[in-house]
């Protein structure tokens, strides 16, 4: 994938603030601090497009980015971080669900998992929620550079088992080493090119 342009469009909390839904869109979801913002930066070859932080809870708004004037990337705030104030945690669900439930150009949700962590209830809930709404989930296991290739393989199996998923369906990624960069872009591009479900014959 050749990245010609990347542009920050807007930050939003509610649908009336969302930009026009006229490009194929991909949202990035996952636990706080899992590496969502880093993954977006890595995909678009930019170090500082999206703010990243070692303090979980950095991304608190829904941020829209346009890539090559052809795709929209959406960085979602992370879930499951207890140090985010309770009032904000309570507003997380309606904010994210308000986005996911009603975005007709959304082609897939990239669900990001940490290679070192066995996913739990929150990940399972998110995946079930996406399935109920017929939304495509792409499972990406990031921070792969933190483990050796052998350890990666073992962990992928553990993560797949926890999610009742097929290990072959999970993309192994690292924002640091760029492992998995081509594979993830290929997946995104092919979903962007496929006609939306409701227009299929």
Q: Which residues bind ligand GTP (CB under 6 A)?
A: 30, 32-38, 52-54, 56-59, 78, 142-143, 145-146, 174-176
Closest to 152 (Cα-Cα) out of 168, 179, 175, 172: 172
Q: How far apart are CA 45 and CA 69, in angstroms?
A: 16
Residue closer to ligand GTP by CB (options 41, 187) is 41
Q: Name the minimum Å distance from CB 100 to ligand GTP.
A: 16
Q: Name the minimum Å distance from CB 187 to ligand GTP.
A: 17
Report, in Å, the least distance between residue 75 CB and Mg ion. 6
Length of the chain: 201
**Of 82 and 166, which CB lies nearer to Mg ion in the complex structure?**
82
**Which residue number, 33 or 155, has a Cβ lying nearer to ligand GTP?**
33
d(CA 39, CA 51): 11
Residues lying near Mg ion in the complex (CB under 5 A) are found at 36-37, 58-59
d(Cα 99, Cα 43) in Å, to the nearest integer?
A: 22
Binding partner selected for residue 155 from ligand GTP, Mg ion, none, CB under the kind-specific 5 to 8 Å limit: none
Closest approach, Cβ 192 to ligand GTP, in A, equals 22
- What is the side-by-side order of every strand in the sheet holding 71-75? 6-12, 62-67, 71-75, 25-30, 106-114, 137-142, 170-172
Cβ burial of 21 (10 Å; 0-12, 13-18, 19+) is middle
Give the residue with the Cβ less far from ligand GTP, 36 or 103: 36
């Amino acid at each position: 994938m050749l990245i010609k342009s990347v542009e920050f469009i807007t930050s939003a909390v509610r649908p009336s603030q969302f930009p026009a839904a006229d490009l194929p869109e991909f949202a990035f979801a996952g636990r706080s601090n899992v590496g969502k913002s880093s993954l977006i930066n890595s995909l678009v070859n930019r170090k500082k497009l999206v703010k990243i932080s070692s303090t979980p809870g950095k991304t608190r708004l829904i941020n829209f980015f346009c890539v090559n004037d052809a795709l929209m990337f959406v960085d979602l705030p992370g879930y499951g971080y207890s140090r985010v104030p309770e009032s904000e945690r309570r507003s997380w669900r309606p904010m994210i669900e308000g986005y996911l439930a009603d975005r007709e150009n959304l082609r897939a949700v990239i669900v990001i998992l940490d290679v070192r962590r066995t996913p739990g209830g929150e990940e399972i809930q998110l995946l079930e929620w996406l399935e109920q709404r017929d939304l495509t989930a792409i499972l990406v296991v990031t921070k792969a550079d933190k483990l050796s290739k052998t350890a990666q393989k073992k962990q992928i199996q553990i993560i797949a088992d926890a999610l009742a998923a097929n290990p072959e369906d999970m993309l192994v990624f690292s924002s640091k080493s760029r492992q998995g960069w081509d594979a993830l872009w290929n997946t995104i591009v092919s979903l962007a090119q496929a006609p939306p479900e409701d227009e299929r014959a």
